[in-house]
Structure 1
Amino acid sequence: MSLNKIDLPPRLIAQLYPRSLMPDNSITVAAEIVAEAPDIETASKQPPVEESSGTGTTTEWKSLGGNQKNIMVIVDYTTDLHLPDPAFTFLSQILNACKLGPNDVVIINRNNYPHTPYEQLLDHFTGKVVLLFGTTAAAFGFPFEIPPYQVQTFAGYTVMHAPALDALKDDKPAKTQLWSSFKKIFNL
């Protein structure tokens, strides 16, 4: 292994550089990642916390990213709080190719919100682009289904779904189709 080529997991990078790699407004996100990292195994198996108030139930929202460009990345991982490191690394590479960073999107693990209606997720996270990985449009809650990689407009949202990030990272034809969809969505 060369000193010029050392691969570090994203969580370790966030711990080493919590301030210098991100703009000032995303320091809280880095702090949350760092805080979760040591205890990720126990945290990843906990369901979303719902607190009861006098008027109803309040959901504790869990997500990654700053959502500066109103792009929602929906994943579905049952064993992770957000998504596994290899999937995050691959997603970061995809976003980088689109001239986007993790702070431009919000990453939401649908598994954390199994009973939350999709409308509530869209309202809370204010996304205009909804990228679904490992779940379909209908499974997410949209009242329609589309083939993988097809870009669909619905009620002011641009929607696209693809296989899980883990399945995509080593599948060259699938990555080509994904890139074609991203070129349409992001005008590349």
Structure 2
Amino acid sequence: MENQVTNNANALRLFFTDDVFLVKDETVEIAAVDSKNAVSENFSAEDHIVQQSALQPKVESIVVEKPEEETKSYVSSVEIPPVVAEPKTPKNFKYLGGNKKSVLILVNDQLNEVSTEQGRDLLRKIVKAVDLGTPDFAIVNYAQYRGTDYLEFHAFFKPVTMLSFGVEITDLKLNLVWQNEIINHGNTKIIFAPNLHQLDSDLTAKKLLWANLQKIK
């Protein structure tokens, strides 16, 4: 059977021969539509937001709970060694004599190598009184090494006996008190006396010195 459906206008006229009339119905009112404002009045901003949110896919946040970890304090097991001051480099001293018997003689004269003529003569008498020759002792002029303490002198000369003329206990940074008697400081016997030049004219100081010198002979 052939297909009965057709869109041919001449063929359709053969079937629809009756007249068709259009009649206006006055009872039906069609409200006029304002194409400019109708949409904007009924479509609010809230509706826009709702529609936009409805179109967007819903994203759910997933919260992963982690088990609480105990706070641990880590203490280094490595011990930090204490800071140790570097030892001082031993000083080198210019001196007269040989120091064979470890006798250190300190003088204090800014103008002369040892002392004045009177002072040098007195020193010769002193060393002779205790049976010392030039090879036995070491003479150092403290005026050339101001600020040097006893420990520095001791480290270099290692004196068994020290005679200090015009060099005070405070100059050598010794926590000692001179009471006109020999001081035994460690293995060293120490005698303090005025500067050689002054000592030569001080009779009382000379007597005290001679008394102490007799004890170290």
Aligned to 2:189: 158
Matched, 1:82 2:82: no
Matched, 1:173 2:210: no
Aligned to 2:146: 114
4+ runs deviating over 6 angstroms: none
Instruction: Give SS of 2:170's match.
Output: helix
Which structure has the larger Rg?
2
Matched, 1:100 2:132: yes
Aligned 8 A contact 1:71 1:106 in 2: yes
Aligned to 1:63: 95
Q: What runs of 5+ residues in structure 1 fail to find an aligned partner?
A: 1-55
Normalising by structure 2, we get a TM-score of: 0.54
Cα distance, 1:141 vs. partner? 2.1
Aligned to 2:177: 145
- Distance change (3 Å), C-alpha of 1:154 and 1:171: same
Instruction: Give SS of 1:121's match.
Output: helix
Instruction: Give SS of 2:215's match.
Output: helix
Count of aligned residue pairs for this structure pair: 130
Q: What is the one-letter code of the residue matched to 2:215? A: K
Cα distance, 1:137 vs. partner? 2.1
Instruction: Give SS of 2:139's match.
Output: strand
Higher helix share: 1
Provide the rounded CA distance (Å) in 2 between the counterparts of 1:75 and 1:178: 15
Normalising by structure 1, we get a TM-score of: 0.62
Matched, 1:185 2:216: yes
Q: What runs of 5+ residues in structure 2 fail to find an aligned partner?
A: 1-87
Cα distance, 1:164 vs. partner? 1.0
- Distance change (3 Å), C-alpha of 1:170 and 1:143: same
Instruction: Give SS of 1:73's match.
Output: strand
Aligned to 1:135: 167
Provide the rounded CA distance (Å) in 1 between the counterparts of 2:216 and 2:130: 10
Provide the rounded CA distance (Å) in 1 between the counterparts of 2:90 and 2:191: 29
Q: What is the one-letter code of the residue matched to 2:181? A: Q
Aligned 8 A contact 1:81 1:112 in 2: no
Cα distance, 1:67 vs. partner? 1.0
Aligned 8 A contact 2:115 2:196 in 1: no
Aligned 8 A contact 1:74 1:109 in 2: yes
Q: What is the one-letter code of the residue matched to 2:146? A: P
Provide the rounded CA distance (Å) in 2 between the counterparts of 1:85 and 1:135: 19
Deviates more, 1:138-147 or 1:56-65: 56-65
Cα distance, 1:57 vs. partner? 6.7
Task: Give percent identity, aligned residues only.
Answer: 26
Cα distance, 1:145 vs. partner? 2.2
